[in-house]
A and B are shown apart, each in its own frame.
Chain A
């Protein structure tokens, strides 16, 4: 069957099997391997992407279900060569070690900050509660999101980072 969807602002059309999962469509058909593929059971959350502006677990959505809809992946976080403050925050606060959960964490973090620019630690932890990190104990991820909240605009983030 043919599916057409918008991925990071670009319309794509492909022939797929109806059983194809969105995570494999993104990684294998579109080569967008920033979205990771983990537990296959909608538990670990490494496959989180946005569908129509809301984070979902792409291992539990068929590519067919996403047809006609808008998908945003971690590759779509950066704007015109500038990292999103969330991405900068993960660098600044060492929000990752192995990096496997990072793309999904950053997608839910961006979603949270868009709706709640100044979240409490508890709100940050609730927002990422559908995602598992085995390296950081979550502490540095929470710090990274807090960093991003303090540096709301991407340009502002860049200036501060590059300041002496």
Chain B
């Protein structure tokens, strides 16, 4: 029987309340959102906070809406909210495509977007999605609110820019006309982490790539990105040769390790092939060629 070690429990009634509790209870306090990463880690004693601050009542942080030219996603939006959000699908099909293959319906009912990003597991699909989209993260403390890029947010495996007395409250993704996005994942079975996964974002202008984002999960890409692969696309026509070159650079620039999900060379192959596939579909969407839903 796996149960967490003894822990204290506090329930936050508002963002301000959560931040005040974090400040008062010190660095051994942890925010508890969906709990689908933290509670299993507590059972295994990989995490051992002294106090949990439950933020599940903060339904005012569960929004997904367009504001100020951005898609804004509250940190407490559940995976299912993002999966089913028409506005997310309209602007960033990559989100629904990733959510379709994240965990399973029951886990998606509880797990949150903010919790997934703060867990910063190197296998995490949404981290790759938001990296590809060049999103920004809004982090709050009792005294300030700051906005960081995803590169700044992801500091390494299981490490983010969110400090002990801070809370991720929102993700912002700039909406860019003429763009398309897609997500490709290979998993061993439903609900598993990827063996490898790639997300792509392309903005086209006058028939050429004006902006490119590639997010890779589970293949050891620093900050979930390979900038050289993205840069290789800018100014090019969105054609097969360009996608292949970006795929080659993505495979070259990541650092997969052999584990129970597969050997490193296979994962490198996935980085190559899934990058090409995602780019192909992102480009088709950017050109307005149907919406090509993933299922």
List A residues at the B interface (Cβ < 8 Å): 1, 17-21, 24, 40-43, 45, 48, 54-57, 60-62, 64-65, 67, 108, 126-127, 129-131
Q: Name the one of A24, A42, A127 contacting B107, with C-beta atoms under 8 angstroms.
A: A42
Instruction: Give me 6 A-to-B residue pairs in the complex whose CB atoms sit less than 8 angstroms apart, sorted by A's number.
Output: A19-B4, A41-B2, A42-B106, A45-B104, A54-B109, A64-B54
Contact between chains at B5 and A19 (CB < 8 Å): yes
Contact between chains at A40 and B43 (CB < 8 Å): yes
Select the stretch in B33-41, B61-69, B227-235 that faces chain A. B33-41
Contact between chains at A43 and B32 (CB < 8 Å): no
CB distance from B25 to the nearest CB of A (A): 13
Hey, which chain A residues are within 8 Å of B42, CB to CB? 19
Contact between chains at B6 and A130 (CB < 8 Å): no
Number of interface residues of B (CB under 8 A): 29
B112 interfacial by beta-carbon distance below 8 Å: no
If the complex has contacts A18-B7, A40-B43, A130-B191, are A45 and B106 also in contact, measured as CB distance less than 8 A? yes
Q: Name the one of A54, A55, A65, A108 contacting B35, with C-beta atoms under 8 angstroms.
A: A65
Per the bound structure, the CA–CA distance linking A131 and B106 in Å amounts to 9
Output the nearest chain B residue to A130 by Cβ-Cβ distance: B104
Hey, which chain B residues are within 8 Å of A130, CB to CB? 103-107, 190-191
CB distance from B75 to the nearest CB of A (A): 17
Q: Name the one of B8, B54, B105 contacting A127, with C-beta atoms under 8 angstroms.
A: B105
Contact between chains at B9 and A126 (CB < 8 Å): no
Q: Name the one of B9, B105, B110 contacting A129, with C-beta atoms under 8 angstroms.
A: B105
Hey, which chain B residues are within 8 Å of A40, CB to CB? 1-2, 43
Per the bound structure, the CA–CA distance linking A42 and B7 in Å amounts to 20
Interface residues of B in 98-121 (CB under 8 A from A): 103-107, 109-110
CB distance from B83 to the nearest CB of A (A): 11
CB distance from A150 to the nearest CB of B (A): 23
Q: Name the one of B1, B3, B9, B103 contacting A1, with C-beta atoms under 8 angstroms.
A: B9
The 4 closest A-B pairs by CB, nearest first: A130-B104, A18-B9, A130-B106, A40-B2
Per the bound structure, the CA–CA distance linking A18 and B5 in Å amounts to 10
